[in-house]
Structure 1
Amino acid sequence: MELQRSFLGLLLGFLVLSLTPLSSARFVVEKNSLRVTSPDKIKGTYDSAIGNFGIPQYGGSMAGAVLYPKENRKGCKEFSEFGISFKSTPGALPKFVLVDRGDCFFALKVWNAQKAGASAVLVADNIEEPLITMDSPEEDGSTSKYIENITIPSALIEKSFGQTLKKSISSGDMVNVNLDWREAVPHPDDRVEYELWTNSNDECGVKCDMLMEFMKDFRGAAQILEIGGYTQFTPHYITWYCPQAFTLSKQCKSQCINHGRYCAPDPEQDFSTGYEGKDVVLENLRQLCVFKVVNKTNKPWVWWDYVTDFQIRCPMKEKKYNKECAESVIKSLGLDIKKVEQCMGDPTADSENSVLKEEQDAQVGKGSRGDVTILPTLVVNNRQYRGKLEKGAVLKAICSGFEETTEPAVCLSSDVETNECLDNNGGCWQNKAANLTACKDTFRGRVCECPLVDGVQFKGDGYTTCEASGPGRCKVNNGGCWHDARDGHAFSACTDNGEVQCQCPHGFKGDGVKSCEDVDECKEKKACQCPECTCKNTWGSYDCSCSGNLLYIKDHDTCISKAASGGKSAWAAVWVILIGLAMAGGGAYLVYKYRLRSYMDSEIRAIMAQYMPLDSQAEVPNHVNDERA
């Protein structure tokens, strides 16, 4: 069983290059020209093969002086260990380092030269053979640290030309060269056609991470080019097939659909756990069908929204890589799910799938383009792109496919701006009633992030949900509760006592979310119950009035008299009060006069008694003497 599994894994690891019986696998080396400008004895133009990493200067050229180090000539060790630096001095040409092939990865040689200050690297072949493409190794813990950071261009040169350069340098000549990429991509018309061979699997290591990051970064530029009609983009997906003898095996059934016709490797390389290869095939097929559906609506750029949103919302690591999550993304972009499903067909049928069969045919190289054998692969104007999958580098390669002076503005400026939020709200969450959206337009394209409104932070995934959190939530769209205003009166059902609740306010009834209806307090006899009361219902409240001259007291739901009796009684009461007050005042005045007079009499009698005592009174002591004592 282990032998069978190993054999099957080996078979599934190869591309379907034998689907067309008479064709054979063909890899086309993409070349640029290397022109020697000095010394005269070796002046001329030579071919060189563009490295499949770093950043080639598509559409441009680079001049430099070639150096061949005396030590570490294969570049497998860091040049700093030998005290060697290639940093250019002011006014001098950039340094192109010539190293020999062998003993270590091409990418490691270029990385070591870049760290030492080289501007470009030429690798001299060690055998006489046609030029090949220098590719990056399969990433592991050590190589992933430098592969994605290589930014200088590199090229492989033939053994004989390498020996010519070495001989000239050793004789003391200054060897100056020009690396020219201007014709690496042809420009036959005023539109660039390019295709990206990609994969929906996000669990294949560093290469998958780089691909996913590129998709998000490049989306804005790709959509501008497509919307403006400058480019025609087509996505592609590589599929394998299962040999006829193994179509009924457990491994083929887990990795393939349509009875072994279309397969993908197991994402975890483990048949017993996690996702299966057929899960990847189905999502690849779905992404192809999304492109076909949006292309028929003349909006092919929406494909970029789908694939980037799917990466964010449906990752394998979170166990969301499934049909349900994919359909939620499709729905958020306003696409017709039924049309996508119809395009996908029946994956269990023992028959060809027209969409995937077309992809397998497209893998075979045509014209000057070679077979697609690695992922990811970018093809521009039928030439395979070589270099790092990075936004700036790829954009430069695509723009080099335009004739000079015909390129769009995006090619002449780094300011790539687009407002994707204007179309279908970018597929993000929105609340139309409150004019709220999670869509934010950025340099990289739109992102779906829950907003901050009036100090209230919304939280959620930004695609399907955003809910207000923290205090003040009732200020934002009334917390999602019912609210209304009439005749200058406004009511809201939102209450926030640590948690938002929707409760209809006093005078209303309902669920508090969708509706609150006015309560007719008069009809339901909840108010104005006194015999003299007359009730009139108002929106959210009521008015009570009393018959005659009675006054309504709302707190007690009763009527009281505005006065004790009629008009004459009132005036009589007033006269009684006035007369009473007058009599009281007169009495008080008489009492006052009596007391004052009594006091004066007593004082006079006391004074007179000092001089002539009265017969009825004893002698009064001398007041003055008493005061002096």
Structure 2
Amino acid sequence: MELRRFLHLLHGFMLLFLIGECHAKFVVEKNNLRVTSPEKIKGTHDSAIGNFGVPQYGGTMAGAVVYPKENRKACNSFDEFGISFKSKSGSLPTFVLVDRGDCFFALKVWNVQKAGASAVLVVDDIEEELITMDAPEEDLSAVKYIENITIPSALIEKTFGDTLKKAISGGDMVNVNLDWREAVPHPDDRVEYELWTNSNDECGVKCDILMEFVKDFKGAAQVLEKGGYTQFTPHYITWYCPQAFTLSRQCKSQCINHGRYCAPDPEQDFSSGYDGKDVVNENLRQLCVFRVANESHRPWVWWDYVTDFQIRCPMKAKKYNKECADGVIKSLGLDGKKIEKCMGDPDADRENPVLKEEQDAQVGKGSRGDVTILPTIVVNNRQYRGKLAKSAVLKAICAGFEETTEPAICLTSAVTSVTDVETNECLDNNGGCWQDKAANLTACKDTFRGRICECPLVNGVQFKGDGYGHCEPGGPGRCTINNGGCWHESRNGIAYSACLDKGEVKCKCPPGFKGDATNSCQDIDECKEKTACQCPDCSCKNTWGSYECTCSGDLLYIREHDTCLSKARTEVRSAWAAMWVIFIGLAMAGGGAYLVYKYRLRSYMDSEIRAIMAQYMPLDSAAEVPNHISDDNRA
């Protein structure tokens, strides 16, 4: 707890030192709320846009205001009171007026949304300047409903709220019109917007939401940027350490350049895990990735780097480091040396020009206030308020175009339009994904959300790997895919492969070749190495993967015995062999017939002998055998 308190205290000091000296200000982004009836309270008022939900940037919304008799602070579900705000068919949408206090702003809006309302007006409970309604910090229970808030909300001043309540209680039908058309300026046919982000992926719920948004919005952002419709710039918040704490252990672990640029410890534990300076270094690297990509007229590659880094180099996997980042940079075809030069020396006791610009940019200029909340989106120098979601942010960006100059993506649904105008990212440097040019295989898949790197499934063979640096075939049939990564070559219609698949793929040069079997197999010259065709009358000729052996004169080469024989001798031997086969066949047939004859003769003689003996020595168990002498000849 003491460490946590120190971190919050130090963080507060850093903010004060950073923005206090520059006369900083926080600007509350507003939209107009115009009362259209009753006549006696008609007029236009300011309302503060909530930092959650979905404001209707570039549009308007009319509704009828109701003030519930029960649960007026909306801290409980309206189901408990049997109250519903669903509009009847043909009637105006319902705007619910609720009082501030007792629970989070976001919970009030969530409860009203569940009851069927179309918008929420929160009445301040004290007389003060309007503030921005924000989502609760580090409240895990709130995450479940904050991301599902889809209706707009606004905070109104106490005096104006009391006027609305009085009119409603007096029986008047109060109708209002919420207007966001001027919430984002739209001076020309190009929109400039910024995303204030962070590379730390272990800072809790807000970081999770940010990381998901970047991945989801990437496709639309790249379509807008490639078409020249927008000018996007990423930014990263940094703080500097107060002079009194520069030499402390805490500042040394959180800062680079001798305390000039700092970020909170990701785990809030100085003794283990990553340090704040690790985050600052990666933030700086991502800024330089954007600068180098922008110099090569490909600023949209920043989105690829950031999303790939999130996937490949997370803190949880202990890969949040320079080595992993360099792998992503290389896969995207960026100049790593230029990026290193841009980053400079983090241990130098001097200003870093890139991070110094970031600190200066945090301070509000013109109509834009200071950037103190992460993440923050700025569109045409106005801070976006609302849900960090693709469709909501895209609507705000589209509201920044001068009328009739909007790109196609702004005129149709987000998904359809992105598909219609999207370019195939896999055609540019293979999207930075793994590829095997020889086998014409790639891990790059182009989607409307941007390209993804995923090892392919080819002819029933599933490749496995990270999709960026490597993909290896797995399962049966691997030798059919690029010969399992083994050597293979074909010449004159004859092909050889070193791939053997016996449960697992092995690379082994086939007979007649030698080598590492992966990169090369070289033909063995059997003639030179004297491993074949060594008989005295033999003549050897080497061929690719084999050899040819011929004999002089009329001799015939017998490969099995590596010898030469005369053709005549071979023919004589063949004739004698044929005669021996016939002779042996006849002998076997005669022997078989003789054995059958002997067997039948023996059987006959046995039966005759048994008959004679039975006449003179009858057996007890045998019947008397009659003799062959007739009665007429008996004495």
Scaled by the length of structure 2, the TM-score of the pair is 0.86
Note closer, same or farther for the CA distance 1:15–1:408 as it changes in structure 2 (3 Å cut). Answer: farther
Q: Which residue in the other structure is 2:517 paired with?
A: 512
The amino acid of 1:469's aligned partner reads: G
Match of 2:560 among 534, 555, 561: 555
Q: 1:33 to 1:402 in 2, by over 3 A?
A: same
- Local SS of the residue matching 1:222: helix
Query: 2:615 is matched with which residue?
Result: none
Trace 1:149-164 onto structure 2 (pairs within 5 A). 149-164=148-163
Partner Cα distance (2:460, 2:21) in 1: 68
Distance 1:368 1:113, change over 3 A: same
Matches within 5 A, 1:523-542: 523-542=528-547
Letter of the aligned partner of 2:482 in structure 1?
N
Separation (CA, whole Å) in 2 of partners of 1:495 and 1:78: 67
Contact 2:7 2:268 in 1 (8 A): no
**Cα distance in 2 between the residues matched to 1:111 and 1:421:** 41
Q: How does 1:106-255 map to 2 (within 5 A)?
A: 106-255=105-254
Residue 75 of structure 1 is matched in structure 2 by 74
Offset of 1:100 from its aligned partner? 0.7
Deviations 1:34-84 (A, max 9, x none): 122222222232211100111111111112221111100010111111011
1:460 aligns with 2:501: no
Write out per-residue CA displacement over residues 535-590 of structure 1, whole angstroms, 9 at most, x where no aligned residue.
22211112222333333322222333433599xx99xx9xxx9xxxxxxxxxxxxx
Moved more, 384-393 or 63-72: 63-72
Aligned to 1:431: 436
Aligned-pair CA distance for 1:425: 1.1
2:455 counterpart (447, 450, 454): 450
> One-letter code of the match for 1:157?
I
Higher alpha-carbon Rg: 1
Looking at structure 1, the residues matched to 208 and 3 of structure 2 have their Cα atoms a distance apart, in angstroms, of: 31
How far residue 205 of structure 1 moved from its aligned partner, in angstroms, is 0.7
Aligned partner of 2:619 in structure 1 is: none
Alignment size in residue pairs: 570
Q: Which runs of 5+ in 1 are unaligned?
A: 578-629
* Alpha carbons of structure 1 residues 3 and 131: separation in structure 2 relative to 1, 3 Å: same
Alpha-carbon distance between aligned partners in 1 of 2:11 and 2:295, rounded to the nearest angstrom: 34
**Structure 1: how far apart are the matches of 2:526 and 2:215?**
60
Q: Deviations over 1:274-312 (max 9, x none)?
A: 111111111111111111111111111111111111111
CA distance in 2, matches of 1:3, 1:394: 39
The alpha-carbon deviation at position 137 of structure 1 amounts to 1.0
Residue 339 (structure 1) aligns with? 338
Tell me the residue number matched to 1:602: none
* 3-state SS of 1:91 partner: coil
Q: Distance in 1 between matches of 2:403 and 2:293?
A: 31
The CA deviation at 1:427 is: 1.1
Match of 1:370 in 2: 369
Are the aligned partners of 1:430 and 1:437 in contact in 2 as well (CA < 8 Å)?
Answer: yes
For residues 314-333 of structure 1, what are the structure 2 equivalents within 5 Å?
Answer: 314-333=313-332
The AA in structure 2 aligned to 1:283 is E
What amino acid maps onto 2:282 in structure 1?
E
Query: Does structure 2 retain, via aligned residues, the 8 Å contact 1:15–1:238?
Result: no
Alignment of 1:532-611 (within 5 A): 532-564=537-569
Identical residues among aligned pairs (%)? 80
1:226 touches 1:232 (CA, 8 Å); kept in 2? yes
Q: 1:411 to 1:433 in 2, by over 3 A?
A: same
For 2:483, the equivalent position in structure 1 comes to: 478
Q: Is the 8 A contact 1:17 1:23 kept in 2?
A: no
Partner Cα separation in structure 2 for residue 530 and residue 64 of structure 1: 106
**Counterpart amino acid of 2:156?**
I
Contact 1:5 1:251 in 2 (8 A): no
Match of 2:257 in 1: 258
Structure 1 234/473 Cα, relative in aligned 2: closer, same or farther at 3 Å? same
Distance 1:530 1:367 in 2: 98
Would the alpha carbon gap of residues 539 and 138 (structure 1) be closer, same or farther in structure 2, given more than 3 Å must change? same
Deviation at 1:344, TM superposition (A): 1.1
Question: Do structure 1's residue 96 and structure 2's residue 89 form an aligned pair?
Answer: no
CA distances 1:224-269 after superposition (whole Å, capped 9, x unpaired): 1111111111111111111111111111101111111111111111
> Are 1:400 and 2:405 an aligned pair?
no
Q: Distance in 1 between matches of 2:355 and 2:491?
A: 61
Give the alignment's Cα RMSD to 1 decimal.
2.1
Q: Give yes or no for contact 2:3–2:268 (8 Å, CA) kept in 1.
A: no
Question: What's 1:614 paired with?
Answer: none
Deviation at 1:383, TM superposition (A): 0.3
- Which consecutive residues of structure 2, in runs of 5 or more, have no partner in the other structure? 580-635
Q: In 2, Cα distance between the equivalents of 1:462 and 1:7?
A: 42
* 8 Å CA contact 1:493, 1:502 repeated in 2: yes
User: Match of 1:317, SS?
Assistant: coil
CA distance in structure 1 between the aligned counterparts of 2:549 and 2:2, rounded to whole angstroms:
94
CA–CA separation in structure 2 for the residues paired with 1:520 and 1:342: 53
Q: TM-score, normalised by structure 1?
A: 0.87
Tell me, in whole angstroms, the C-alpha distance in 1 between the residues paired with 2:518 and 2:200.
Answer: 42
